[in-house]
Structure 1
Amino acid sequence: MWVIPVFALLLMVSANYSSAAKGVPCGQKQLTFLAYIYKGNAALEAEWPWHAAVFRKQSNGGEDYICGGSVISENFVLTAAHCTVSFRMSLSADNFLVKLGLHNKSYPSEHSRTHEVVEVIRHDSFNINNLRNDIALLRTEEDITFSDYIQPICLWPVEKSELNSILSSRGTVAGWGVGDEYKLVDILQQATLSVVDYATCLKSKPEHFSKLLSDDKSNFCAGNQNMTNVCDGDSGGGMYFKIDNAWYIRGIVSAGARSETGRRCDPQQFVTFTDIPYYLRWISQHQENVKKRNLLNLGSCGLDSYNITIPESKKSVFLQYPWTAMLEFKMESSPSIQTICNGALIHPRFVITAGHCVDSSIRKLKLKSVRLGEFNLKTNPDSGKSFSGETVSTTTQSIDVEKVFKHPQFNSPRYDNNVALLKLKHPADATRSNVKPICLPTLEDYNEIYTISGWRRVGRQSHILKRDTALLEDHEKCRSIYGKINISLSSDGNQICGTYYHENVHDCFHFMSGAPLQYVKNADRKNQYFLKGLFSFGFPKCQLNYTDVFININRYAQWIASIVMDEEA
């Protein structure tokens, strides 16, 4: 058991309990045995009954051990977020298995149990580049049954508690990571490591830990600076401490340093751990919302028929984003319709768009209606291939707008809170294949790649619905870029920035305001699109890899839900 860029994190709650089943105490070893880790020692069976093994399924039907984890409740195993990502791609839930009550990982006993995973929840601020916020939850398909060999660990009892409470103390780590012979071990190993302060850790290897250590103290260091340590394969496992008569998890194995030869981890260096108390609220929120992933309770929203492994660029654009809406305006002196903004259908009666699109002080245009089911602005009906391969013909729906709800703090401060809801005069006909609502998330989840869909303002084929890939940009870097042209972006998360990849410079034209930014979430064996943001405005000099600003929809979840509930009551 050692550690190379290993990774770690942890989770939630209070007092002397976990979120396990009612009446089940946490952090209790049911068998009183004496019972790894590099230069550690073998644990006895049931010595660490909350320690889990995370396996990844292979295309040939096999499975590979990849990381450790910790059981915290009947439905959740805590692990490191980086364990759920491969080559910067977020892996779906059906890629994973969790094995519990395991001692010899190659030869499970009659006491061990295997659970399918139906949802992976990564911290929305997880950063694959520096492993900040390296924490994730794995939700099991079936409830975990506790036994002498399978038990939940207690979560550290105080949210964002000071590290001083465990400085100079020693916690226990367990795992099947790389051992003395530089290969993964079969028998679960254990070792005790000393927690060290921020300054000591940083001074030990400044060029390494200056990147990994978080300024907000959401991770910490531990190690003995000898040949006893965690190593490759121990990522995701916990650091456990005994308080009074119960065991608690304080950290998740996250990242270590490579040896000078670059082969594996360097067991003489410190290792970073995700600090659980910092994430208690995040853990609690996701566990409480496990049965309500969609804000507006639309069970069939955003359904994606493609396999989760299919890249977005390989999917058809026709019928793939049936929530993408076009706003229709009229000038007072002309009967003609002008389409100048996009939006997203989030409910049969509601479309969400950018606030400035409906701000009457900006232009002498009056919003009349919303067009749904559009694809080619020059043809009606549209024709194309469905998911099943058959040719289908679709027509649009134009529905008048009954009410406009502009955010009460719109443009205050300037450019901020740029969001509005449109209530339609009657429900959209969502039985059509080209008109469906997209899901709204109750809580944000991590994604590396997002997709924007809509119509471009100008450019070749701007009359046809297009999509593009967007990578989220570091917000502080984005704020600095826009600050140079005297545009001050929000610092509280209301706005997010995205950088596009264009295959051709001729495609470098902005989408219309209100174009939806979305991602696919795999949970409960369904793939569904969720709305991440809406295009707000872009850098005036349109160049390859330019950065656009989006409205962060999740920040307005409560406002959206309250309006929809009040209007539908």
Structure 2
Amino acid sequence: MLTVNASDFHVDAILPPNYKPRDLYVTNVLINGKEYCTNSTLKSTEQRITPKLSCGQRKVKHNQLITHGLGARAGDWPWHVAISSIYNSTFRYICGGSLISDTFVLTAAHCVTKVGVPVLPEYLGISLGKTNLIGANENPQEREVFKIIVHENFNHRKLDNDIALLKLTTKVIFNDYIQPVCMWSDRVDKTVPIGEITGSVVGWGFDQTDSFSPTLRTAHIPLVSDEICIKRKPIFYGSFLNGYKFCAGLINGTSVCNGDSGGGFVVFIPNEDSGITSSPDGVWFIRGIISLALSRENYKNKKFGQLTSLGNNVYTVTLLEDTYDFEVDVEAPPSYTSSLPIYVTSALINGEEYCANPALGTTRNPFRTNNSKEQSVTPKLSCGQRKVKHNQLITYGLEARAGDWPWHVAISSIYNSTFRYICGGSLISETFVLTAAHCVTKVGVPVLPEYLGISLGKTNLIGANENPQEREVFKIIVHENFNHRKLDNDIALLKLTTKVIFNDYIQPVCMWSDRVDKTVPIGEITGSVVGWGFDQTDSFSPTLRTAHIPLVSDEICIKRKPIFYGSFLNGYKFCAGLINGTSVCNGDSGGGFVVFIPNEDSEITSSPDGVWFIRGIISLALSRENYKVSVCDPNEYAIFTDVDKYDDWIKEHMK
């Protein structure tokens, strides 16, 4: 990808009336290995006095780029603890928790109670500083529980006030692998926009094999508005979102699962936003506690039995530690009189069953949120669908698997019959690939088509793949107003010499303009980016990797680096990313920022789940400061070309 090594950028920019700019200049721009615009200075005399917090900081530094999976490493989540039940000196993992001081752990109330009553403290054990649930760890500590403090209004049926504190018998000794997380109320900057938060969840819960993971795993998921959640499942989510809970997650297979309960939903806030100066980067705050989730329908598990929906108003709820059919009191519209009672059918808590033998009756159909009798006729799209199905839970890393991203292609330069990978791209039809203009130009001029090669259906850049295809490029179409210095209109089409043959591993992605439901809120989008770009070793990755990152408002981006982001965000680009070390990097340029939209939102009926749409093209990012070569800074937002703004241009040149 193109990296701009500008701690800051010197351009003509509109600034607030009271803003006095520093002396800021381009240091260098690296395009396809060539450097432009060197020699810079950076001056600043401003100083801030802010409180220093000794919580929410990682002591062990790792560089998590797009190419690094979600397997946690020692020191990544030093506040996450394992809560185990103890019986006959045997420890059995049941839930997660978050260390918030040297004597207190925060967790979910349902993890440490039976039918709403706290278990005896001596039956619980706390493990700290672990990434491996079984096996060696760096300086772990074990603690007993002195007291269990469950919220006085906890309701084990409705899960109201699902929160508890565990007071430890002896103080924890902080080290590089054991640290407390900051409380949300400790934030200095109270203006952090809640509606645009992306947090991280970790746990040893169920993985894709439906068994506990021996190693700690991570997922980055966005906080979702109550409105969006309730729209998806009005009865279920409307019953729980009472102002004291919130909704979060991705509905593309990345989620928390059984055994993750009690763990924290933690948010990284950089120094610019948090005002915290005790850490060179920023700190982590706990925003939520994992409480519950819907179970899979029609799924039989030998441990939990048959998990099914018993009626339109009865859902099987997975407490992420215990699974049972759950009672909810539902308010229908004023004109609706429901005679459909809702009951607990059974509760399995720590292996013991309660509340059996339910009754279920109805004399009337349940109400619907949309009672229109019209049948919509919508186009069936044959793009943006995964043909090979995988279940990506919190415990599964971000290494791509065959068929995960069937539209992603590798663009290579060809010289003396040698292929050299340079960029990514997205297949949008059987003859066209969409990519960034800077990937296929030199100083703004397109390279000759015969010097480019396209590889499709690959997850391994080097090595065996499932049915890959290779294509030559017939024509390179670069936007006529592409500016290689400012990267305006950084978009290009590659027309292939021969048609691609679609299969399970090669499919086109849908264009953003193909969406039927135009009401998808742009400001709350989380997308996925993939690539073979630089990993934590600052070299290309041999295997395709994935990151899920949120689209960030221009306002937030520009606030972080006013000169730099203000120079590029011109209405035809957008900002996206996590500033906690997860990012795109060198070599990821040209790849797509793709968004999964489920059938409920997209109204696409050719896929049982939903489809993927391309929303942007990876364009550029800031380089790391004081680094010997121009390499991306994974702690800054990346900038993407807004595909939606070029829809007419794309269609015109594909004729």
Give the shorter-chain TM-score range.
0.3 to 0.5
TM-score, length-normalised on structure 2?
0.39
